[in-house]
Chain A
Amino acid sequence: MAEQLLDKVRDVAEGQIDFEGQKLAELLANVALTLVGIIAFAVGYLLQDIKLAVYIALGGTALTFLIVTPPWSFFNRNPVKWLPVGGPPQPPANIVVNEKSLR
């Protein structure tokens, strides 16, 4: 029971996303943070206001974390299609690993 509960908590905490989602998350994080940096500098320089630049940078970063960190559903649109258990016929055996054949 406790084990099952822990497993559920782990699932929530882990927040897995699929491979396409991982690619998207990385791209989003990099683009968003770069944009935030550019905007913070440009606005700060043009208005000569360093406090505003800091607020933009921190706010934008918080927003980026919010977008990227949780396992939003749009990161899980391309779930991996696993082969069914005991599915299609096995390829001919003798897979060689470390010069030892496996059967």
Chain B
Amino acid sequence: MYSSLVRLQNTFGFFTTVIFVVAAFIAVSDVVTPREPVVATLKTNQVQVVRGRPHYYSSKKEEYAVIKFSLDADLSSLFTWNTKQVFVYVTAEWPSSSAAKIAGNVTENQAVIWDTIITAPSSDHLANLGPAARKKLLKSAAGKAIDPSRGKLSIKNQKPKYQITHPSGKIAETDDVVLKLHYNVQPWVGMLTWNQDIDMFRWKKLKNGMSKKFALPAIKKKVEAKKTTAGTGK
């Protein structure tokens, strides 16, 4: 510690130690904060299967399921000071075929049909939004360090973001499909966490996060398909 350079080095060394210890404490503070996520409703509104191509230049025709749904959920307890964002996603899940199921070989299929990123006020400046939407978001958080009210989701008759298919190209008339709500909490520092199926210490499992079983219908007849796409002008 006799010269300025040595003092600078030693102080910096201790600074890194302190920062890592504080970061570890911040990460651990998540574990002692209770989480009680609840889903009030998760149900399908309208389910249809249409024919389409994977992309414009493809000649392959595949069947796509379009699942409209409604969601009411309270995820506000996930928003603490260490929450950077919560990634909320709805999946459709179904067993491969009834034959495989009987054989005890339940082959699960999972596909995300809708997702959203809920940023915390501390990460609003990072959100991928247009200038107007960003301004609105920043305004909504003015003076707030955290904003758990953003975890209250109420979505009616939502169109899916992703139309899903199966590698075989066939998805019509599939039975036993369910929708499931999932979330992924992204911290500022520490472990990434997902929704749990069991209670863990102070974190409760996601209640009621699954819809009733439903079946995908047969492919929609052409006449009807035309009617729904008329709006796009094609």
* A and B form one complex: yes
Given A48-B145, A61-B15, the answer on whether A71 and B4 have CB atoms closer than 8 Å is yes
Chain B, interface SS category:
helix
Question: Is A52 a contact partner of B145 (Cβ separation < 8 A)?
Answer: yes
Of chain B, the residue at the smallest CB distance from A71 is B4
Question: Is B81 a contact partner of A50 (Cβ separation < 8 A)?
Answer: yes
Given A37-B18, A41-B22, the answer on whether A48 and B11 have CB atoms closer than 8 Å is no
Question: Is B2 a contact partner of A17 (Cβ separation < 8 A)?
Answer: yes
The residues of B that contact A30 with a CB separation of less than 8 Å are 14
Question: Is B81 a contact partner of A40 (Cβ separation < 8 A)?
Answer: no
Selected from A49, A52, A69, the residue in CB contact (under 8 A) with B7 is: A69
Smallest beta-carbon distance A16→chain B, Å: 6
Task: From A1-9, A21-29, A83-91, A92-100, give the one contacting chain B.
Answer: A21-29
A-side interface residues, number (CB < 8 Å):
34
Considering the chains assembled together, what is the distance between the CA atoms of A22 and B2 in angstroms? 6
Mark each residue of chain B from 1 to 35: 1 if its CB lies under 8 Å from any CB of chain A, else 0.
11111011011001100110110011001000000
Question: Is B4 a contact partner of A48 (Cβ separation < 8 A)?
Answer: no
Which residues of B are in contact with A by a Cβ distance under 8 Å? Answer: 1-5, 7-8, 10-11, 14-15, 18-19, 21-22, 25-26, 29, 80-82, 122, 145-146, 188
6 more CB-based (< 8 A) A-B contacts, given A29-B14, A69-B4: A15-B7, A26-B1, A36-B18, A50-B81, A57-B19, A68-B11
